[in-house]
Amino acid sequence: MLAPERPGCGRSDPQPGRTLLDWPRDVRALADALGVERFAVAGVSGGGPYAAACAWALPERVSGAAILSGIGPADRPGETRDMLAPNRIAIWMFRHSPRLARALLSPLARQLRNPERALAQMARSLPEPDRRIVAERHQQASLAAQLRESVARGNEGLFSDFEIFSRPWGFPLAEIRVPVHLWHGELDRNCPIAMARRVAAEIPGCRATFAPGAGHLFTLQRIDEVLEALGL
């Protein structure tokens, strides 16, 4: 299993002005360098659009895609209505003034450098199923490590993602031709369930699992099921 870091995240160099469809080019280059001809892709949360982009752009290479609690296109009115306020506001700001958004949100992004405190603050606004998962010691340690790594080189990776999420994705979901599996909790407030239903409806043959009573993080406990669906 390979987990490449998006530009600006972790130890990956920033890529100013990047778009969602720059990512499949990076994935193709990585697979070529490793001599991997066919592979499955998966994206969690903000990684969902990137998995979908690979499925659309690399049908000759991608054997299947999994979208786990993924954010959907936010370019239609009302799509972010049920989203947590910080995410909803960030998307709105990056859509209207990316430069101002970067300036105003930098202090908030710096809080991720103390991920334990950031997790505790975020947990207060999460639905109960997500709070229970965050309270588990091993999940808490894993999530904190991911938050810390996401801003290891600064805020640009995070901000580029929000700017990308605020714009149209650049390809029609209806043109995806590889098998796509989608999992989403019906209580998800990071990425509202309405977004997932739209994605599932527009991707031909999408096999969707909508979990009642589950929030954003439930797929952390379903990894074996995901790998099996992808034939891994």
What is the structure's pLDDT at 22? 97
Asked whether 166 and 95 are in contact (CB, 8 A), the reply is yes
CATH superfamily of this structure's domain 20-229: Alpha/Beta hydrolase fold, catalytic domain (3.40.50.1820)
What is the structure's pLDDT at 57? 98
What is the structure's pLDDT at 76? 78
**How far from the centroid of its chain's Cα atoms is residue 29's Cα?**
21
Name the percent of the chain lying above pLDDT 70. Answer: 100
Confidence band, pLDDT 50/70/90 cuts, at residue 224: very high
Tens of pLDDT, residue by residue over 41-98, are 999 999 999 999 999 999 999 999 999 999 999 987 788 888 988 899 999 999 999 9
| DSSP H helical ranges for the chain | 23-34, 48-57, 85-96, 98-110, 115-123, 128-135, 137-150, 156-165, 193-202, 223-229
Tens of pLDDT, residue by residue over 129-163, are 999 998 888 888 888 888 888 888 888 899 999 99
Confidence band, pLDDT 50/70/90 cuts, at residue 175: very high
- Predicted TM-score (pTM) of the model is 0.93
Q: Which of 199, 196, 101, 218 is nearest to 158 (CA)?
A: 101
What's the token pair of residue 205?
A: 């043959």
Tens of pLDDT, residue by residue over 189-206, are 999 999 999 999 999 999
Tens of pLDDT, residue by residue over 96-109, are 999 999 998 888 77
Confidence band, pLDDT 50/70/90 cuts, at residue 209: very high
What is the structure's pLDDT at 154? 86
Q: Which position has the token pair 């599996």?
A: 181
Mean pLDDT of the chain: 92
User: Which residues face 55 on adjacent strands?
Assistant: none
